[in-house]
Chain A
Amino acid sequence: MNRPASRFRWPAALLVLVLAATSARAFVDDALSFAYEAANPYAERGWIIREDAWGGDLGQGDKKAVTAQLFRGNSYMFFLATDINGAALRVNIYDAEGNLAESKSWQRGRFAYAEIKPRSTGTYYAIVEIISSPEERTGWALVYGFQRK
């Protein structure tokens, strides 16, 4: 009796997985568009915005650490964004010892920003956080740029 159901179990599970992966990817892509849009005025002011970026999805109150290799002598900016209306995010930059290293940061609704002029070359951590969100999972994207001046 269970046979017909079990016959469809694997394809159904696979379909669910594919749909979940596709939708996760889609909302990260949407978040990425928002992050680039927010960073665009900085590009016009001489910042070079990288084409590579980080992204993912998090629940409310969750944090993630993103590792970045930064070089002393440059200034860096990080733009965090989501496409979820009503969500609030935060990004802060710490050095390899866990000390707050940013020179400036702000948080405005679904956008957050942090700027750093590294005191030494090495690994830094951008801590990404979903402060609040109307959704269970919130897609986020983090882009960064550096300044030649």
Chain B
Amino acid sequence: MISCTRAALGTCSTTGFLCFILPGSQVKFPATVILSLLFVLLLCLSTALGEKPDQTIDLGQFPAETVDSVVIPVPSEIFTVLDKLGNPNWRGELGPEENYPASPNRAQVALLLGTVIADGFVAVEAEDSERVKKIGRNVLTLAEAINVRKSVVARSNSIIEKADAREWNAVRREFDGALQDVNQAMLELNDAQLAQLVSLGGWLRGTEVLTSIVKDKYSRDRAELLYQPMLVDYFNRQLDQMTPRLRRQQLVGEIRKSLGRIGPLIKKSQPSEISEETVTEINALATQMVELIRAKAG
């Protein structure tokens, strides 16, 4: 047995194998174990270095490799930032308090459903539980008009229950979930285009609220939130690809025209350079579109 104050190489008295002996210790490690550990350590180190992501990539190599589906941000993603940048008057941004009658025009109901869900996010920011509950019931009525009531019953009940408990993050998640459930149900009914109209309605109402708040108290930081060129392109593309029957509808046609005007306004600026005039212009267009959606439904 070897005992010393420095790591030493010796021969194990019992096995006869070459061993490493730790300083001041009687513990011996076979050399093969130590060498294996060193090898594994080096391997891990080289793997870790190899897995370091590239600092830059050529996005041009990805056009055919890009996932087609676009996840539309929920209004609360933007409202959260607005909250951090000031103290918006959320109550002042709440939509009209009304029950929407069922309409035979499914495209218009789909757009309206999107705006009502977006209103739900505004009501959550305003922490107005009564309004949230009313919106939860409106979601159900509109979902019924486009045959997807079953898919949102549970969500609607949960929205009402969580609004009562003032669990605002949970309510936000339920509105997001309602949007996905409606979309999924429509896809199952082969109504993908109506599902896109729900998303578009929500985005338009969200944009109306965003521009209204930024217009009230303009700052570059707030205006930057409008820089959403990818989403505008996406919605324009969706409208262009809709069936001629849908595109011929007056409401859809008018929205297509207005959205075509919003695109260049957003894209002409750098993110940090969206002017007060541009915000006012986008607000006028978004307000006009949301009013059209509501008026046609009334």
Please report A residues at the B interface, Cβ cutoff 8 Å. 46, 48-54, 56, 63-69, 71-74, 90, 92, 94, 96-100, 102, 105, 107, 120-123, 125, 127, 131, 144, 146, 148
Q: Take A66-B67, A120-B272 as given contacts and tell me if A51 and B177 are in contact as well, using a CB distance cutoff of 8 Å.
A: yes
Contact between B71 and A144, CB atoms less than 8 A apart: yes
Contact between A120 and B224, CB atoms less than 8 A apart: yes
A72 to B173: give the CA distance in the assembly, Å: 21
Within the complex, the shortest CB–CB distance from A117 to chain B, in Å, comes to 12
Q: Does B87 contact A (CB under 8 A)?
A: no
Chain B binding surface, main DSSP class: helix
Interface centre among B76, B227, B231 (most CB of A within 10 A): B227
A123 to B73: give the CA distance in the assembly, Å: 12
Contact between B176 and A52, CB atoms less than 8 A apart: yes
Q: How many residues of B contact A (CB 8 A)?
A: 43
Closest A-chain residue to B70, C-beta based?
A67
Contact between B71 and A125, CB atoms less than 8 A apart: no
Report the stretch among B24-32, B51-59, B236-244 that lies at the interface. B51-59
Instruction: List the A side residues contacting B205 at CB < 8 Å.
Output: none
Instruction: List the A side residues contacting B58 at CB < 8 Å.
Output: 98
Within the complex, the shortest CB–CB distance from A65 to chain B, in Å, comes to 4
Chain A binding surface, main DSSP class: strand
Within the complex, the shortest CB–CB distance from A139 to chain B, in Å, comes to 13
A102 to B53: give the CA distance in the assembly, Å: 10
Contact between B225 and A122, CB atoms less than 8 A apart: no
Given A69-B231, A73-B85, output 11 extra A-B contacts at Cβ < 8 Å: A48-B76, A48-B169, A50-B74, A52-B176, A52-B180, A66-B67, A69-B72, A72-B81, A96-B59, A99-B55, A120-B227
Instruction: List the A side residues contacting B5 at CB < 8 Å.
Output: none
Within the complex, the shortest CB–CB distance from B93 to chain A, in Å, comes to 18
Within the complex, the shortest CB–CB distance from B259 to chain A, in Å, comes to 16
Within the complex, the shortest CB–CB distance from A126 to chain B, in Å, comes to 9
Picked from A49, A68, A92, the residue with its CB within 8 Å of the CB of B53 is A92
